[in-house]
Amino acid sequence: MTNSAFPDDPEAMLALGREVLGAQPFSVLMEARLEVFAPGRARLSLPLGPRLLQQFGHAHGGVVSYLADNALTFAGGSVLGPAVTTAEYKINYIRPARGEQLVAEAWVVNAGRRLAVVGCSLHVVDGSGIPTECALAQGTIATLNDDDRSAGTQD
């Protein structure tokens, strides 16, 4: 299922997705990267450095949760269109996220006109390039109506 709001060309769709990610100040702060943005799929990553760790030396749960949320929303938006938001999601932390890079891979499980159910697997990659799964998430992504889009901005 492809949304007509996105270009048919895969490279153009990825470029548009990267533009959307770049317009999110928090994602820029997190140094998030959009690696895959295709109909029904998204993969985001971010480098794990000392500023994103908690006291035991692994990624803070909020960092893992942020990346899951954004990957879920990008995947859902790839089939629903660009004006979407997370309606809900849950995350299961499987093991501490220790590594150099955190990666979230999301896929659409089912989509209608206004809602998409999306799954997401998160893993960390160590210095040798070996991935280790650290969390699973599932969410519901919803389209925004015109009132939601024009509700104003936050400072």
* Domain definitions of the chain by residue range: 10-146
| 155 residues of the chain, pLDDT tens digit each | 456 678 788 999 999 999 999 999 999 999 999 999 999 999 999 999 999 999 999 999 999 999 999 999 999 999 999 999 999 999 999 999 999 999 999 999 999 999 999 999 999 999 999 999 999 999 999 999 876 655 544 43
CA–CA distance, 56 with 88 (Å, rounded to integer): 29
H-helix segments, 23-145: 25-30, 61-80
pTM of the model: 0.90
Helix, strand, coil shares, percent, the chain, to 5: 30, 40, 30
Which of 3.50.50.60, 3.10.129.10, 1.20.1250.20, 3.40.630.10 would CATH assign to domain 10-146?
A: 3.10.129.10
